[in-house]
A and B are shown apart, each in its own frame.
Chain A
Amino acid sequence: MPLLELRDLTLRFGGVTALAGLDMEVRRGELLALIGPNGAGKTSVLNCISGLCRPGSGTITLHGRDGERHALHRLPPHRIAALGVARTFQNIELFRHMTVLENLMLGRHLHMRGGVLAGGAYLGRQRRREIEQRRQVEEVIDFMNLEPLRNQVVGQLAYGAQRLVEMARALTLDPALLLLDEPTAGMNAEEKESMARFILDLHEERGIAVLVIDHDIDVIMDIADRVVVLDFGRRIGEGAPAEVRADRAVIDAYLGRAPNGAGD
C-alpha cells in the first residue's frame, strides 16, 4: 500500500487550471521526483498535500503508520503536519527575524507541550521540556552541519544557507514524508552537490519518504528512485529515471525544452 495517494485531483485558480485530474502516489520509503515545465502544477501538488490549497475535487489519502487512512484534502495545514508531513518552499519561507536555533525549535512545536502559562512561568517542567527539545534540535544541526550558524539571525544568512536551514527545520518535525520544492534552485554546483547528498542521506539513514521537485535533471537522475512527469496539471510520464529520460512524450513536453538544456 502506498504512503500517499492522490486521486483525480483538480485545482483551479479562476480561469487557470493548475491541476486537471491528477493521479499519483508516493510509496513508502521512496525518493520520488516530480518534474515538469514551468507552470505545470508541481508546486500546486505540494500545496494541496500540505493543506495550503483545497483541491476543487479529488482525494488525497495518507496511509498512517498505524494503518489508519487520513483524508488530507479535508484537513488544515497544522493537522497535516501533525501526521508527519513536512515541507520546504520554492521561495524560502523562514522566520527571518529569528535565529537558526529558534527556527529549528519551532520545528519541534508539535513534539512539545506547554502553553502560555507554563511558558510565562518557565518553572522546572517547562524548562526541562525546552532543554529536552534542544537536544533533538542539536542533533539535526549536527546532521546538517549548521553548527557555525546556530545563533545567527536567519534573514542575514546567504541564500544557500537559508535553504539548508529551511530543510533542517522541516527535519526537526521528524517527518514520515518530506516535500521539497526546488531545494537546489539558485545554488552553485558545489552547493547543489552537498544538498543532493543531504537529501540522499536523510532518505537512507532516516527512512524518510521524499517527494522532491527540481529543475536540475542531472540532480534528479542521480538521486531519485522514481520520477513522475507533469504537464498542464496532468501526469504525462512515470517510471525509473532512465525510462523517463527515454520517453518520447516526456522529451517533447519537457526535456527537449528544459530551461538548463539538460535534455540532451
Chain B
Amino acid sequence: MNRMRYECGVFHTRYASEMGLRPRPLQRIRLVLIAAAIVVYPFVANGYWLDLANQVAIATVGAIGLNILVGYTGQISLGQGAFMAIGAYSAGLLTLQAGLPWAVGIPVACCITAAAGAFFGLPSLRLKGLYLAIATLAAQEIVEWLMTHWTWLTGGTEALVLAAPRLFGARMNSPFVFYWLGAALAAGTALFAANLFRSRMGRAFVAVRDQDIAASVIGVDVARTKLLAFATSSFLVGLAGAMIAFYRNIVSWERFTLETSVVYLAMIIVGGLGSVRGSFLGAALITLLPALINNVGRAVQETAPQAAGLLPHVQHAVFGLVIIVFLIFEPRGLSKLWGNVKDYFHVWPFAYRKG
C-alpha cells in the first residue's frame, strides 16, 4: 500500500506515490468527470459552440507553449505570432508543395518552428527582460515581412489555401471532427507540460527564471537551457499554428501579427504565469470573452437599436477592462482564483483558510 487514508487527509508512505501527478483520490474523480464532459460536449453543443471549443483547444496549446517560455523560464517573448506563423506556413507548404501527409507534416512543421525558436532565442544569451522582448519583436517583424513579401513561397498577402485533410475518412475542417483532434492535442500538451515541470529539465527551466547565477553554480548550463526553452516552447506554438492551418484550411498572415503575440501574452497573464491550468483558463477566457460580449451586444441591439453604432467600441473597452480588473484583483491569475475555490471546498463546511 502506497497511501494511507485518515479522516484528516492522505499520508504518503512512498516517494513514488507522493511524486505522482494526481496524488489524491478526489483529484482522480475530478479528472474522470472532466474527461466525461469533454466526451459528451460535442454531442450536445451546436456548431457555434463547437467552433469556440476548437478555438479554445488551439489557444490552449499555444498558451501552454508561450507559458513554458515566459512563465516558467522567465524569457519574455513578443514573437508568439511569428512562431505560430512558421508552424502554420510550414505545415501548409509541406502538405501542399511537398505532398507530405498531414500526420507527417505537422510534426515536421513543429520541429522547424522549434529550430526557428532556438535561433531567435539567441539574443536571450545576452539580453534580459524588456531588452529581450524588443529582440523577439524583431523576430516578429522579420517573419511578418517574410510572410507578406516572400511571395513565391508564401503567396504573399494572398492566403495559402489547403485541401481539407481527412481524419478517418471525414473532413478535418468540420468542427465536430476537428474537436477530437483538438481535444487530444490540448490534453496531450497539458500532460506533457505538467510532466516536464516535475522532472529534471523542467526544474532547470524554472531555476534559470528564478536565479540564473545560482542555477549555473549547481551545474545548469544556463545558455543551453534558455535555448532549449525557446525550442520547446516554439515546438508547441508551431503546433498551435499548424492546427489553425488545418482547421481553417487557410493560412493568412493576418492571423499572426504582433496583436496575436500580445493577445497570447494576455492569456497567460490573466490565466497565471507558470501554470498549465492557468494557460488553459486564460486561453478559454480570452477566446470566449469576445464571443460573450458579442452575444450580449446582439441582445442589446435588438432591444435598443439606437445603441448599435457604439457597440464595437464598447466591446473593445469591456475586453480591456476585464483584463485590467484581473490584473488588479488577482495578479496571480485565474489559476490562483481556482486554487482559492478548491481550498475553500477542501475544508468545507469549516471556515478555515490555508495561508
Contacts and interface: CB of A to CB of B under 8 A. Distances in A.
Contacts of A122: 21, 195-196, 198-199
A93 interface: yes
Interface stretch (B126-134, B147-155, B203-211): B203-211
Contact of A50 (B215, B217, B220, B232): B217
B219 A119 contact: no
Contact of A95 (B199, B207, B219): B207
Nearest to B189: A120
B161 to A, nearest CB: 34
Contact of A77 (B15, B200, B217): B217
Interface string B218-255: 11111000001000100000000000000000000000
A78 B210 contact: no
Contacts of B193: 120
Contacts of B215: 95, 106
B10 to A, nearest CB: 14
Interface residues of A, number: 45
Interface string B179-210: 00000000000001101101111111011001
B216 A119 contact: no
A109 B203 contact: yes
A122 B195 CA distance: 6
Tell me if A's interface is mostly helix, strand, loop or mixed: helix
B220 A109 contact: yes
Contacts of A106: 203-204, 207, 215, 218, 220
A26 B15 CA distance: 39
A93 B193 CA distance: 26
Contacts of A87: 217
Contact of A130 (B19, B204, B222, B228): B19
Given A106-B204, A109-B204, A134-B15, A81 B199 contact: no
A135 interface: yes
A198 interface: no
Tell me if B's interface is mostly helix, strand, loop or mixed: helix
A77 B225 CA distance: 14
What size tier do the contact residues of chain B reach?
A: 20 to 34
A96 B211 contact: yes
Residue among B196, B217, B232 with most chain A CB within 10 A: B217
A3 interface: no
B210 A98 contact: yes
B196 A110 contact: no
Contact of B202 (A110, A119, A135): A119
A109 B205 CA distance: 12
Residue among B192, B193, B199, B213 with most chain A CB within 10 A: B199
B232 to A, nearest CB: 5
A242 B252 CA distance: 79
A97 B15 CA distance: 22
Interface string B245-267: 00000000000000000000000
Contacts of A94: 211, 214
A107 B216 contact: no
A96 B210 contact: yes
A59 B263 CA distance: 52
B218 A169 contact: yes
A52 B195 contact: no
Given A96-B211, A106-B204, A106-B207, A116 B218 contact: no
A148 to B, nearest CB: 15
Given A95-B207, A106-B204, A122-B198, A78 B19 contact: no
A173 B50 CA distance: 51
Interface string A112-126: 111110111110001
Given A93-B211, A95-B210, A98-B206, A81 B195 contact: no
Contacts of A51: 216-217
Residue among B16, B204, B210, B218 with most chain A CB within 10 A: B218
B140 to A, nearest CB: 24
Interface in A61-86: 76-78, 80-82, 86
Interface string A89-109: 100011111100010011101
B192 to A, nearest CB: 4
A153 B213 CA distance: 20
Given A94-B214, A98-B210, A130 B199 contact: yes
Contacts of B16: 127, 131
Contact of B199 (A80, A114, A138): A114
Contact of B200 (A89, A119, A131): A119
B222 A93 contact: no
A93 B199 contact: no
Contacts of A81: 216-219
Contacts of B211: 93-96
Nearest to A77: B216
A12 interface: no
Contact of A86 (B192, B199, B204, B217): B217
A74 to B, nearest CB: 15
Q: Which 6 A-B pairs have the closest CB atoms?
A: A119-B199, A81-B219, A122-B195, A110-B219, A77-B216, A120-B192
15 contacts: A78-B217, A81-B216, A86-B218, A97-B210, A105-B203, A106-B204, A107-B218, A109-B218, A115-B200, A119-B195, A119-B199, A122-B199, A126-B199, A134-B15, A134-B19
Given A86-B218, A114-B201, A130-B200, 6 more contacts: A52-B213, A81-B216, A96-B210, A98-B210, A107-B218, A122-B21
Interface of A: 50-52, 76-78, 80-82, 86-87, 89, 93-98, 102, 105-107, 109-110, 112-116, 118-122, 126-127, 129-131, 134-135, 138, 169-170, 173
